[in-house]
Amino acid sequence: MRVVAAMSGGVDSAVAAGRMLDAGHDVVGVHLALSQSAKTLREGARGCCTIEDAGDARRVADVLGIPFYVWDMAERFKDDVIEDFVAEYAAGRTPNPCLRCNEKIKFAALLDKAVALGFDAVATGHYAQIVEAPDGSRELHRAVDMAKDQSYVLGVLDADQLAQSFFPLGDTTKPQIRAEAKERGFYVASKPDSHDICFIADGDTRGWLVQRLGEEPGQIVDTDGTVVGEHRGAYAFTVGQRRGLHLQRPAADGAPRYVVEVQPRSNTVVVGTAELLGVDAITGDHARWCGPAPDGVVSVGAQVRAHGEEIPATAWADGGQVEVRLERRVRGVAPGQSVVLYDGTRVVGSATISATATAASTAAAPATAH
């Protein structure tokens, strides 16, 4: 196969490219330029897509002896990921830009361009596995290394995208990948992993949002409406947040308080006790299925954070909407986050959380079960 290896400049994508070459594929390395004003150097383990990263990717391609190109997708990344991120926070939701990048950039814009140029597939350094089912279809599964598993952020991929994707690292642990990179003579073997949000290199999400949305002073209120503090913009808060509230009036019982609701229209942040954070009913929009959509009510595992715990649940689909009922309550689930559904290690699909509640306050699941 002719394969585009997406090379970020890190150790994972470097080894992924090497493995695809070893497997006998015709491999071309591609680095995505996603920043319109790329910095020369990374800030430690924060950020990515710098000029340094592009250079690191090129050096790996030279070691492998494969062609290497830089594809400019900064405008598409700005429109589909960064602007979406800002709009979601402005609407009082908490988005996950990594899922949106995988959906819109790496497995849409990149894959579409690769196919248009005559390539058969795209390979990345994500920690996940693709397993071929008996009927020849491809399934997305968790990685062997659960500490590095990235199937959650790949839950937005559909069957057609999986059919043209490779994840060569899914059967390997991170220490083994670094050891392999060293054996291959890759300069990036000991390069630190990037983390946090790639386009907010200093990790200060609140400050970054203030620069783009401006300050909008408002009130922080208790659940009974009592004003207990002030803020510079409700968009900078997320459900479950405890730190950075700077409340002026402590709770009568001295218990800590958390953000339980963000009201963008009134620019108000509501705080309350930890008990108010527990939810076991989730409604999701923008459903994406890694294969056939669930038929009726199905038993699944539900995960609401990238490295969060998988909770036993039931779920059913209704067009582009998904209803999930967790077996136990989970705290700090915010609208805008994604819920990813699993059947064992297989990823069933995902949805963007639009509402949460307790099951006692919602309608019962349909009677049909499969």
The residue ranges of every structural domain in the chain are 2-190, 215-276, 278-361
* 3-state SS class at 131: strand
C-alpha to C-alpha distance for 28 and 336, rounded to whole angstroms: 36
Superfamily (CATH H level) for 2-190: HUPs (3.40.50.620)
Give me the sign of the Cα torsion angle 226, 230, 232, 236. negative
Query: Which of the pair, 82 or 248, is modelled with greater confidence?
Result: 82
| Whole-number Å distance between alpha carbons of 367 and 365 | 6
Q: Looking at the predicted structure, is the pLDDT value of residue 42 above 50?
A: no
Q: Percent of the chain having pLDDT more than 90? A: 73
Q: Shortest CA distance to 332 belongs to which of 253, 283, 282, 260?
A: 260
pLDDT exceeds cutoff 90 at 246: no
The answer to whether the pTM exceeds 0.85 is: yes
* Interval 180-202 mean pLDDT: 87
pLDDT value, residue 363: 62
Residue 37 has a pLDDT of 62
| 370 confidence band (pLDDT: 50, 70, 90) | very low
Kindly list the catalytic residues: 101, 198
For the record, the structure tokens of 39 come out as 């910095």
The confidence score (pLDDT) of residue 36 equals 65
Residue 364 has pLDDT above 70, yes or no: no
List Cβ neighbours of 54 (8 Å cut-off, separation of 6 or more). 9, 31, 33, 38, 70
The tokens for 49 are 């897509």
In sequence order, the 6+-apart residues with CB closer than 8 A to the CB of 363 are none
Provide the mean pLDDT of the chain.
90
Mean pLDDT calculated for residue range 305-326: 93
d(CA 205, CA 26): 40
pLDDT at 46 over 50: no
Highest mean pLDDT among 46-55, 247-256, 316-325: 316-325
Fold held by 278-361: Elongation Factor Tu (Ef-tu); domain 3 (2.40.30)
- H or E segment at 51? helix 51-64
The dotted CATH code for 215-276 is 2.30.30.280
Q: How confident is the model at residue 41 (pLDDT cuts 50, 70, 90)?
A: very low
Residue 50 has pLDDT above 80, yes or no: no
Do residues 70 and 51 make contact, with C-beta atoms less than 8 angstroms apart?
no
